[in-house]
Amino acid sequence: MDDPVTIENGVTYERKVITEWFETFSHQDNIVCPTTGMKLKSRVLSANVALKTTIEEWKERNEVARIKVARTALSLACSDSMILEAIRDLQHICKRRRNNKVLVVSVGILPLLIRLLGYKDRDVRCEVLELLRQLTEEDDEGREMIANIMDISAMIELMLSSHQEIRHASLLFLVELSRSQALGSEEVQMEMTSYLGELILSNDSKAYVAEKASTSIIKMVQSGNTIFRNAAFKALSQISSHHPNGKILVEVGILNIMAEMMFTLRIYDELMDSKKEAAAILANVLESGVEHDSIKVNTHGRRLSSNYAVYNIIHMLKNSTPDELNINLIRILLCLIKSPRSMDTIVSVVNETEASYTLIELINNPHEQVGVAGQPQSLMECPSGTNHITEKQALSARFLAKLPQQNLTLNLALLNNNVVPTILERIFLIQRKGTRTSRHATVYLEGLVGILVRFTATLYEPQMLFLARTHNLTSVFTEMLIKTSSDEVQRLSAIGLENLSLESINLSRPPQIKKTGSKKLFRLLNLLSSRSVETRKIPVLCPVHRGACSSETTFCLIVAKAVERLLVCLDHENDEVVEASMAAICTLLDDKVDVDTSVSLLSENNAIQYVLKVVKEHRQEGLWQKSFWMIEKFLVRGGNKSVSDISQDRLLPASLISAFHNGNDRMK
């Protein structure tokens, strides 16, 4: 027993075991004593203090004896198994009580452990390092004793071991040991920090170092010693790459220190690498999801989301900075763009500084080592394969895609630089080669598609309308609904089709033909079956938009055969893909179109079954709202068949009641 307790009839049990026994009874009246079988009226447990004291005294005597046995075993070192058993027993004893650490040190075990660091068996060395770490953790006296007899060169040799387990164990021990006064000199701290930066740390190691040593390493960053600072930057870069460390690093003040490093160092400063490292660390921490609106970037109180900070970041992008710094700057902007406050600032600065030109060049530059230089007109040719896609290109494309799509100034800047042919060519290459040919290909593809969607958000501008028609964006997005493994590409393609389809009713006009031929043309349109007509580019009289339609000139989803593919997307697991696809389909049920005909055409493709399935499998509010809106359209305009199909769904009433009680006013 560890924690003996007595129940109401006087019998003593281990607390954990009797508690579990009580939990097997559903009613208080049925509880019985497991020893006597007597019924118990209460579950009250009383600590058996006398027995607990006796147990503790026995454990102390036993642990002292076990420590002596372990010392003997380590002295003899007869076999690997004997040594491992002794060390693991000492680890268990040290975990139980802090005073046991003092006992282990006082009986002369430390020299034996130090000697075993050179033992041939890898497992023995790992377990010795773990025991030494335990002895130094939260124990200043033990730490100083070990530091005084420890050979630092032997520890460094262990850190350079080819075995990851030994490197990991030696690192954890050395981090604890570095807090000793005996080993805490600047030279030793710098040497250990250098190794932290150069070693490939596991996530557990990164978490441990962040918790134990981040404060000391950050102080080294602020040191005037360039060597110290560079070593500390490398260590922090590794530690910050583990996102769970973000909160710890924020608490010790890393964000404002890194931001100050970025903005106070000059672009051609001798410490340019420090600027690059600071940007990488700042990006790592921001990507962990920490709150950034309140982060101060200098002593004047300016914040990271301020015009000052954003302007400086974009200014660095425009001044031929190294590619690695560019990548980190864009990563920072991508994090800032998630905040509405920062978004407004970024859009304003991008417009004022014409930074879109720089971003376009970053997307179109296929060479990782080529700096940003020259004018936007000097765009480089498209690379011959996806193996040239760089992280810089991928992040630049994503950033442009994430900026507000309705920003006409930015969209015109992109259009005027004639980037669409290049974008379409690269999309084709990625689709043909597949995203596996480059680790940045998926992000790049998503960014490129997002840029195309931007143009569909400002179709009221004649140049945008001309561009969408010239490149037949309706067909482009329709193809990408199925020719991709990326959820984000599917979502963006559906959004693009929605934007285009909203213009169809305004663009569809009666064909310039004799009246006698209109009925024949009307009969030519069979839902999603106008391939021969489309091939010959003959305008078709669309029963939904009531005019001559094509995928190219009026962006008609029916003629483009997009409806069937959008309906398939309603069966997607991703809520965002489903909602975007449903929004595109909803444009065919708008009051401006012939809703009766549209409902009939959708019914032929079992659209209502897809919608009813969405209601069952998704609970996202926006999706439910659109689903119920569509169901209402089918009930009112779809005739008896639609009413019958909907009423036969047994789960729909429960979903409607749930939505009525929990939804907003519009959903109700």
- Model pTM above 0.85: no
* pLDDT, tens only, 379-420: 323 344 445 788 888 888 888 888 888 888 778 878 888 889
Q: Return the number of other C-beta atoms located less than 10 Å from residue 164's C-beta.
A: 13
Chain-centroid distance, C-alpha 193: 28
**Total residues belonging to the chain:** 668
* pLDDT, tens only, 496-544: 999 999 999 999 987 665 544 444 444 444 444 444 444 445 556 888 9
CB 136 within 8 A of CB 94: no
Structural domains in the chain plus CATH codes: 4-47 (no CATH), 472-508+541-662 (1.25.10.10)
* pLDDT, tens only, 193-213: 666 666 666 777 788 778 877
Identify which of 515-519, 588-592, 618-622, 649-653 has the greatest average pLDDT.
Answer: 588-592
Q: What percent of the chain has a predicted confidence (pLDDT) above 90?
A: 29
- The answer on pLDDT for 463 being more than 70 is yes
**What's the confidence (pLDDT) of residue 580?**
95
**What's the confidence (pLDDT) of residue 533?**
43
* pLDDT, tens only, 337-358: 887 777 777 777 776 666 666 6
Identify which of 368-377, 439-448, 497-506 has the greatest average pLDDT.
Answer: 497-506
Separation between Cα atoms, residue 100 and residue 95, nearest integer Å: 8
Contacts of 524 (CB under 8 A, 6+ apart): 530, 533, 540, 541
Interval 469-498 mean pLDDT: 93
* pLDDT, tens only, 246-285: 888 888 888 888 888 887 755 444 455 678 888 889 999 9
**Phi/psi at 13 (5° precision):** -140, 165
Q: Return the number of other C-beta atoms located less than 10 Å from residue 238's C-beta.
A: 21
**Phi/psi at 503 (5° precision):** -90, -10
**Phi/psi at 563 (5° precision):** -60, -50
Query: What is the token pair recorded at 606?
Result: 């079992």
Question: What are 179's strand-pairing partners?
Answer: none
Query: What is the token pair recorded at 457?
Result: 């958000």
CA dist list (Å): 152 to 179, 234, 305: 14, 21, 45
**What's the confidence (pLDDT) of residue 152?**
66
Average model confidence (pLDDT) for the chain?
Answer: 81
**To which residue do tokens 């309906």 refer?**
567
Produce one character per residue of 383-405: b if its CB has 16 or more CB atoms within 10 Å, e if not.
Answer: beebebbbbbbbbbbbbbbbbeb
* pLDDT, tens only, 279-326: 889 999 988 888 777 777 766 777 877 888 888 887 787 665 667 788
- The answer on pLDDT for 88 being more than 90 is yes
pLDDT band at 91 (very low <50, low <70, confident <90, very high): very high
CB 630 within 8 A of CB 666: no
**What's the confidence (pLDDT) of residue 472?**
95
Q: In what order do the strands lie in the sheet with 46-47?
A: 12-14, 4-6, 46-47
